[in-house]
Amino acid sequence: MKIIKNLASYSKKKPLALSIGMFDGVHIGHQHITEKLNKVAAEKNLESAILTFWPHPRIVFNPKDDLKLLNTIEEKTYFLEKHGIQNLFLQDFSEGFRNLTGEDFLRQILVEKLHVKHLIIGYDHTFGKNKSGDFSLLEKMAPECGFEVEQVEAVDFSGKHISSTQIRNALSQGKVKEAGEMLGYVYSVSGKVVHGKKIGRTIGYPTANIEVNTLKLLPKKGAYIVDVFVKDQHLKGMLSIGTNPTVSGKTLSVEVYILDFDEDIYGEEISVNFREFLHDEIKFENLEQLIQKLDEDKMRTEKYFS
Protein backbone atom coordinates (compact mmCIF):
# COMPACT_ATOMS: atom_id res chain seq x y z
CA MET A 1 0.00 0.00 0.00
CA LYS A 2 1.28 3.47 -0.91
CA ILE A 3 0.95 6.12 1.81
CA ILE A 4 0.70 9.73 0.61
CA LYS A 5 1.09 12.34 3.34
CA ASN A 6 1.25 15.41 1.11
CA LEU A 7 -1.44 15.88 -1.53
CA ALA A 8 0.48 18.83 -2.99
CA SER A 9 3.27 16.51 -4.14
CA TYR A 10 0.92 13.84 -5.50
CA SER A 11 0.98 13.77 -9.30
CA LYS A 12 0.08 10.22 -10.28
CA LYS A 13 -2.50 10.02 -13.06
CA LYS A 14 -3.85 6.53 -12.39
CA PRO A 15 -7.61 6.99 -11.82
CA LEU A 16 -8.98 5.93 -8.45
CA ALA A 17 -11.90 4.19 -6.80
CA LEU A 18 -11.96 6.13 -3.54
CA SER A 19 -13.77 6.55 -0.25
CA ILE A 20 -13.49 9.39 2.26
CA GLY A 21 -13.70 9.30 6.03
CA MET A 22 -11.91 8.79 9.34
CA PHE A 23 -12.19 4.99 9.19
CA ASP A 24 -11.45 4.91 12.93
CA GLY A 25 -11.40 1.26 13.95
CA VAL A 26 -11.67 -0.01 10.35
CA HIS A 27 -14.75 -1.85 11.67
CA ILE A 28 -17.16 -4.15 9.84
CA GLY A 29 -18.97 -1.21 8.25
CA HIS A 30 -15.68 0.17 6.94
CA GLN A 31 -14.68 -3.29 5.73
CA HIS A 32 -17.88 -3.39 3.67
CA ILE A 33 -16.66 -0.23 1.92
CA THR A 34 -13.11 -1.51 1.34
CA GLU A 35 -14.52 -4.70 -0.17
CA LYS A 36 -16.63 -2.66 -2.61
CA LEU A 37 -13.70 -0.39 -3.47
CA ASN A 38 -11.47 -3.33 -4.33
CA LYS A 39 -14.17 -4.96 -6.41
CA VAL A 40 -14.86 -1.79 -8.41
CA ALA A 41 -11.14 -1.10 -8.86
CA ALA A 42 -10.57 -4.59 -10.27
CA GLU A 43 -13.55 -4.36 -12.62
CA LYS A 44 -12.77 -0.89 -13.98
CA ASN A 45 -8.95 -0.93 -14.04
CA LEU A 46 -8.70 1.62 -11.22
CA GLU A 47 -6.66 1.67 -8.01
CA SER A 48 -8.45 1.52 -4.65
CA ALA A 49 -7.85 4.40 -2.27
CA ILE A 50 -8.91 5.91 1.05
CA LEU A 51 -8.69 9.62 1.87
CA THR A 52 -8.61 10.11 5.62
CA PHE A 53 -7.69 12.96 7.94
CA TRP A 54 -5.23 13.69 10.72
CA PRO A 55 -5.80 14.96 13.28
CA HIS A 56 -9.42 13.90 13.74
CA PRO A 57 -11.72 16.84 12.84
CA ARG A 58 -13.38 16.62 16.27
CA ILE A 59 -10.01 17.26 17.91
CA VAL A 60 -9.55 20.35 15.74
CA PHE A 61 -13.02 21.80 16.34
CA ASN A 62 -13.36 20.71 19.99
CA PRO A 63 -9.85 20.53 21.52
CA LYS A 64 -11.38 20.19 25.01
CA ASP A 65 -13.38 17.14 23.91
CA ASP A 66 -10.50 14.76 24.86
CA LEU A 67 -11.53 12.36 22.08
CA LYS A 68 -9.77 8.99 22.19
CA LEU A 69 -9.45 6.89 19.05
CA LEU A 70 -9.86 3.19 18.31
CA ASN A 71 -6.76 3.15 16.09
CA THR A 72 -3.41 4.86 16.04
CA ILE A 73 -2.25 5.93 12.57
CA GLU A 74 -0.05 2.83 12.46
CA GLU A 75 -2.95 0.51 13.32
CA LYS A 76 -5.29 2.15 10.81
CA THR A 77 -2.63 1.80 8.11
CA TYR A 78 -2.12 -1.85 8.99
CA PHE A 79 -5.83 -2.71 8.80
CA LEU A 80 -6.48 -0.82 5.56
CA GLU A 81 -3.52 -2.54 3.92
CA LYS A 82 -4.72 -5.88 5.28
CA HIS A 83 -8.06 -5.25 3.55
CA GLY A 84 -6.42 -4.66 0.19
CA ILE A 85 -6.43 -0.86 -0.14
CA GLN A 86 -3.72 0.24 -2.58
CA ASN A 87 -3.42 3.95 -1.69
CA LEU A 88 -3.88 5.79 1.60
CA PHE A 89 -4.00 9.60 1.60
CA LEU A 90 -3.35 11.11 5.04
CA GLN A 91 -4.65 14.65 4.71
CA ASP A 92 -3.69 17.23 7.32
CA PHE A 93 -6.90 18.80 8.58
CA SER A 94 -5.42 22.28 8.25
CA GLU A 95 -7.32 25.57 8.26
CA GLY A 96 -7.01 25.93 4.49
CA PHE A 97 -8.29 22.45 3.86
CA ARG A 98 -11.21 22.60 6.27
CA ASN A 99 -12.38 25.89 4.75
CA LEU A 100 -12.97 24.31 1.34
CA THR A 101 -16.66 24.15 0.48
CA GLY A 102 -18.11 20.80 -0.50
CA GLU A 103 -18.07 21.78 -4.17
CA ASP A 104 -14.49 23.11 -4.03
CA PHE A 105 -13.32 19.95 -2.28
CA LEU A 106 -15.01 17.85 -4.94
CA ARG A 107 -13.54 19.76 -7.90
CA GLN A 108 -10.07 20.66 -6.58
CA ILE A 109 -9.21 17.56 -4.57
CA LEU A 110 -11.26 14.63 -5.83
CA VAL A 111 -11.42 15.42 -9.53
CA GLU A 112 -8.43 17.62 -10.44
CA LYS A 113 -5.89 16.26 -7.96
CA LEU A 114 -6.83 12.63 -7.37
CA HIS A 115 -8.59 11.76 -10.64
CA VAL A 116 -11.38 9.91 -8.86
CA LYS A 117 -13.56 7.92 -11.26
CA HIS A 118 -15.65 6.01 -8.71
CA LEU A 119 -16.55 7.38 -5.29
CA ILE A 120 -18.06 5.32 -2.47
CA ILE A 121 -19.28 7.06 0.67
CA GLY A 122 -20.90 5.93 3.90
CA TYR A 123 -24.60 6.30 4.60
CA ASP A 124 -24.18 9.47 6.69
CA HIS A 125 -21.06 11.04 5.19
CA THR A 126 -20.78 14.81 4.72
CA PHE A 127 -17.75 16.85 3.69
CA GLY A 128 -16.61 20.42 3.13
CA LYS A 129 -17.03 23.57 5.23
CA ASN A 130 -20.22 23.56 7.30
CA LYS A 131 -20.92 20.05 5.95
CA SER A 132 -21.90 21.62 2.64
CA GLY A 133 -21.11 18.45 0.69
CA ASP A 134 -23.30 15.37 0.82
CA PHE A 135 -24.57 12.55 -1.37
CA SER A 136 -27.11 14.75 -3.17
CA LEU A 137 -24.33 17.17 -4.22
CA LEU A 138 -22.23 14.26 -5.45
CA GLU A 139 -25.12 12.83 -7.45
CA LYS A 140 -25.77 16.24 -8.99
CA MET A 141 -22.15 16.89 -9.99
CA ALA A 142 -21.02 13.37 -10.90
CA PRO A 143 -22.02 13.49 -14.60
CA GLU A 144 -20.36 16.88 -15.13
CA CYS A 145 -17.17 15.86 -13.30
CA GLY A 146 -16.88 12.46 -14.93
CA PHE A 147 -17.16 10.09 -11.97
CA GLU A 148 -19.66 7.61 -10.60
CA VAL A 149 -20.86 7.72 -7.01
CA GLU A 150 -22.56 5.23 -4.72
CA GLN A 151 -23.65 5.34 -1.11
CA VAL A 152 -23.42 2.23 1.07
CA GLU A 153 -26.03 1.35 3.67
CA ALA A 154 -25.18 1.01 7.34
CA VAL A 155 -24.28 -2.39 8.76
CA ASP A 156 -26.35 -3.21 11.86
CA PHE A 157 -25.43 -4.95 15.10
CA SER A 158 -28.10 -5.71 17.71
CA GLY A 159 -30.53 -3.38 15.98
CA LYS A 160 -28.14 -0.40 15.81
CA HIS A 161 -25.89 0.94 13.07
CA ILE A 162 -22.27 -0.04 13.59
CA SER A 163 -20.16 3.10 14.05
CA SER A 164 -16.90 4.11 15.66
CA THR A 165 -18.95 5.92 18.32
CA GLN A 166 -20.94 2.76 19.11
CA ILE A 167 -17.69 0.82 19.54
CA ARG A 168 -16.16 3.50 21.76
CA ASN A 169 -19.29 3.40 23.93
CA ALA A 170 -19.07 -0.39 24.24
CA LEU A 171 -15.41 -0.22 25.29
CA SER A 172 -16.15 2.54 27.81
CA GLN A 173 -18.56 0.09 29.45
CA GLY A 174 -16.07 -2.78 29.44
CA LYS A 175 -18.01 -4.65 26.74
CA VAL A 176 -14.90 -5.83 24.91
CA LYS A 177 -16.59 -8.85 23.32
CA GLU A 178 -19.35 -6.67 21.87
CA ALA A 179 -16.77 -4.18 20.59
CA GLY A 180 -14.84 -7.01 18.95
CA GLU A 181 -17.95 -8.26 17.17
CA MET A 182 -18.53 -4.81 15.68
CA LEU A 183 -14.87 -4.38 14.78
CA GLY A 184 -14.51 -7.83 13.24
CA TYR A 185 -11.38 -8.43 15.32
CA VAL A 186 -10.30 -8.41 18.96
CA TYR A 187 -9.59 -4.92 20.33
CA SER A 188 -5.99 -4.39 21.38
CA VAL A 189 -3.55 -1.87 22.79
CA SER A 190 0.20 -1.79 22.30
CA GLY A 191 3.16 0.05 23.73
CA LYS A 192 6.55 -0.15 25.33
CA VAL A 193 7.10 -1.91 28.66
CA VAL A 194 8.24 0.73 31.16
CA HIS A 195 9.23 0.73 34.81
CA GLY A 196 6.44 1.10 37.37
CA LYS A 197 6.36 1.11 41.17
CA LYS A 198 7.12 -2.64 41.22
CA ILE A 199 4.49 -3.28 43.91
CA GLY A 200 3.19 -6.33 42.05
CA ARG A 201 6.40 -8.28 42.46
CA THR A 202 6.24 -7.85 46.26
CA ILE A 203 2.87 -9.68 46.36
CA GLY A 204 3.66 -12.43 43.87
CA TYR A 205 2.08 -10.76 40.83
CA PRO A 206 4.80 -8.91 38.89
CA THR A 207 3.27 -6.83 36.10
CA ALA A 208 4.50 -5.25 32.90
CA ASN A 209 3.51 -1.57 32.73
CA ILE A 210 2.50 -0.60 29.19
CA GLU A 211 3.11 2.93 27.90
CA VAL A 212 0.09 3.42 25.61
CA ASN A 213 -0.31 6.15 22.97
CA THR A 214 -2.20 9.02 24.68
CA LEU A 215 -4.74 9.23 21.81
CA LYS A 216 -5.60 5.52 22.02
CA LEU A 217 -8.89 4.64 23.69
CA LEU A 218 -8.55 2.42 26.75
CA PRO A 219 -11.52 0.27 27.80
CA LYS A 220 -13.28 0.94 31.09
CA LYS A 221 -11.19 0.81 34.29
CA GLY A 222 -11.03 -2.70 35.67
CA ALA A 223 -9.51 -6.14 35.13
CA TYR A 224 -9.51 -8.14 31.90
CA ILE A 225 -8.44 -11.48 30.48
CA VAL A 226 -6.01 -10.80 27.63
CA ASP A 227 -3.77 -12.40 25.06
CA VAL A 228 -0.22 -11.08 25.32
CA PHE A 229 2.21 -10.76 22.42
CA VAL A 230 5.84 -9.95 23.24
CA LYS A 231 9.20 -11.11 21.85
CA ASP A 232 7.42 -13.19 19.18
CA GLN A 233 5.61 -15.11 21.93
CA HIS A 234 1.84 -15.55 22.35
CA LEU A 235 1.11 -15.69 26.08
CA LYS A 236 -1.82 -15.54 28.51
CA GLY A 237 -2.42 -12.68 30.87
CA MET A 238 -4.71 -10.66 33.09
CA LEU A 239 -4.62 -6.92 32.74
CA SER A 240 -5.56 -4.01 34.96
CA ILE A 241 -6.53 -0.51 33.86
CA GLY A 242 -6.74 1.92 36.74
CA THR A 243 -4.99 3.99 39.37
CA ASN A 244 -4.16 1.24 41.90
CA PRO A 245 -6.41 2.75 44.62
CA THR A 246 -5.51 0.07 47.19
CA VAL A 247 -1.97 1.50 47.38
CA SER A 248 -3.18 5.14 47.03
CA GLY A 249 -2.20 5.44 43.38
CA LYS A 250 -3.16 8.57 41.47
CA THR A 251 -1.95 8.01 37.90
CA LEU A 252 -3.80 5.84 35.40
CA SER A 253 -1.76 2.82 34.39
CA VAL A 254 -2.09 -0.24 32.18
CA GLU A 255 -0.46 -3.29 33.76
CA VAL A 256 -0.48 -6.90 32.65
CA TYR A 257 0.42 -9.97 34.67
CA ILE A 258 1.64 -12.67 32.28
CA LEU A 259 0.95 -16.24 33.36
CA ASP A 260 3.89 -18.66 33.55
CA PHE A 261 6.41 -16.03 32.47
CA ASP A 262 9.42 -14.48 34.18
CA GLU A 263 11.57 -12.92 31.43
CA ASP A 264 12.93 -9.37 31.56
CA ILE A 265 10.95 -7.40 28.95
CA TYR A 266 11.65 -3.79 29.95
CA GLY A 267 11.89 -1.67 26.82
CA GLU A 268 10.18 -4.28 24.65
CA GLU A 269 7.10 -3.59 22.52
CA ILE A 270 4.09 -5.47 23.85
CA SER A 271 0.55 -5.90 22.57
CA VAL A 272 -2.53 -7.18 24.40
CA ASN A 273 -5.87 -8.38 23.00
CA PHE A 274 -8.91 -7.88 25.24
CA ARG A 275 -10.79 -11.16 25.56
CA GLU A 276 -13.11 -10.79 28.54
CA PHE A 277 -13.99 -8.30 31.28
CA LEU A 278 -13.35 -9.66 34.79
CA HIS A 279 -14.53 -6.88 37.11
CA ASP A 280 -14.47 -3.16 37.86
CA GLU A 281 -11.55 -1.48 39.57
CA ILE A 282 -11.75 -2.20 43.31
CA LYS A 283 -10.20 -0.43 46.28
CA PHE A 284 -9.37 -3.10 48.88
CA GLU A 285 -8.87 -2.46 52.57
CA ASN A 286 -5.50 -4.22 52.57
CA LEU A 287 -3.03 -6.10 50.37
CA GLU A 288 -4.29 -9.48 51.65
CA GLN A 289 -7.72 -8.82 50.10
CA LEU A 290 -6.04 -7.67 46.88
CA ILE A 291 -3.98 -10.86 46.68
CA GLN A 292 -7.09 -12.98 47.30
CA LYS A 293 -8.86 -11.25 44.39
CA LEU A 294 -5.81 -11.66 42.14
CA ASP A 295 -5.79 -15.37 42.97
CA GLU A 296 -9.45 -15.59 41.93
CA ASP A 297 -8.75 -13.64 38.72
CA LYS A 298 -5.86 -15.95 37.91
CA MET A 299 -8.06 -19.01 38.34
CA ARG A 300 -10.72 -17.51 36.04
CA THR A 301 -8.04 -16.62 33.49
CA GLU A 302 -6.55 -20.13 33.52
CA LYS A 303 -10.04 -21.63 33.17
CA TYR A 304 -10.82 -19.30 30.25
CA PHE A 305 -7.74 -20.35 28.32
CA SER A 306 -8.12 -24.03 29.16
| Mean per-residue pLDDT over the chain, rounded | 93
Q: How sure is the predictor about 133, in pLDDT bands with cuts at 50, 70 and 90? A: confident
Residue 28 confidence (pLDDT):
96
Report the distance separating Cα 28 and Cα 182, nearest Å. Answer: 6
Q: What is the pLDDT of residue 54?
A: 80
pLDDT for the residue 199: 82
Q: What is the spatial distance between Cα 224 and Cα 75, in angstroms, rounded to a whole number?
A: 22
At 64-111, the pLDDT tens digits run 888 999 999 999 999 999 999 999 999 887 777 888 998 999 999 999
Domain parsing of the chain, residue ranges: 2-161, 186-305
CATH topology identical between 2-161 and 186-305: no
- The fraction of the chain above a pLDDT of 90, given in percent, is 78
273-305 tens-digit pLDDT: 999 999 999 999 999 999 999 999 999 999 999
Between 125 and 259, name the one with better pLDDT: 259
The pLDDT, as a whole number, for residue 150 is 95
Q: In what order do the strands lie in the sheet with 16-20?
A: 2-4, 87-92, 47-54, 16-20, 116-121, 148-151
Q: Residue 126: its pLDDT value, please? A: 86
CATH of 2-161 given 3.20.19.10, 3.40.50.620, 3.10.20.30, 2.130.10.30: 3.40.50.620
- The model's pTM is 0.93
pLDDT at site 9: 83
Tens digits of per-residue pLDDT, 29-75?
Answer: 999 999 999 999 999 999 999 999 887 878 777 878 889 999 999 99
The pLDDT of residue 1 is 95
Choose which CATH entry (3.40.50.300, 2.40.30.30, 2.40.160.100, 3.90.1010.10) describes domain 186-305.
Answer: 2.40.30.30
Task: Tell me the per-residue pLDDT of 141-154, one tens digit each, with 9 for 90 and over.
Answer: 999 999 999 999 98
**43-64: b or e for each residue (b if 16 or more CB lie within 10 Å)?**
eeebbbbbbbbeebeebeeeee
CB 272 within 8 A of CB 237: yes
Task: Write down the pLDDT at residue 164.
Answer: 95
Q: What is the pLDDT of residue 273?
A: 98
Read off the pLDDT of residues 198-257 as tens digits, 9 standing for 90 and up: 888 889 999 999 999 999 999 999 999 999 999 999 999 999 999 988 888 889 999 999
Peptide bond into 57 cis (omega under 30): no
pLDDT of residue 224: 98
Beta strands in the chain (DSSP E): 2-4, 16-20, 47-54, 87-92, 116-121, 148-151, 156-157, 160-161, 188-194, 208-212, 222-230, 233-242, 253-258, 269-279
Give the per-residue pLDDT at 295: 97
